[in-house]
């Protein structure tokens, strides 16, 4: 993984990291209880997934296999 900062900084909205999690629903509830907004993902209905922004506005994806 490579992380860099361009000036002026603009958060990545389209390109993003995807993290594999064992239970996306549980992890989503954890993030939401901590005050993070999440969005459902439905491009591939057979894969449980959702999106969340990091504190800087970068898009992150969380999915199971």
What pLDDT, on the 0 to 100 scale, is given for residue 1?
Answer: 58
pLDDT the model gives residue 4: 67
Quote the pTM value: 0.78
| pLDDT at residue 32, rounded to an integer | 97
pLDDT at 43 over 70: yes
The CA-CA-CA angle for residues 55, 64, 33, to 5°, reads 40
CATH number of 17-63: 3.10.180.10
Tokens 């993984």, residue located: 1
Q: Where are the domains of the chain?
A: 17-63
For the segment 2-34, what is each residue's pLDDT rounded down to a tens digit? 566 778 877 776 778 899 999 999 999 999 999
């Amino acid at each position: 993984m490579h992380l860099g900062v361009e000036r002026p900084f603009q958060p990545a909205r389209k390109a993003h990291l995807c993290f594999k999690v064992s239970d996306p629903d549980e992890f989503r509830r954890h993030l939401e209880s901590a005050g993070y907004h999440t969005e459902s993902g439905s491009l591939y209905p057979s894969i449980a997934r959702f999106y969340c922004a990091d504190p800087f506005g970068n898009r992150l994806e969380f999915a199971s296999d």
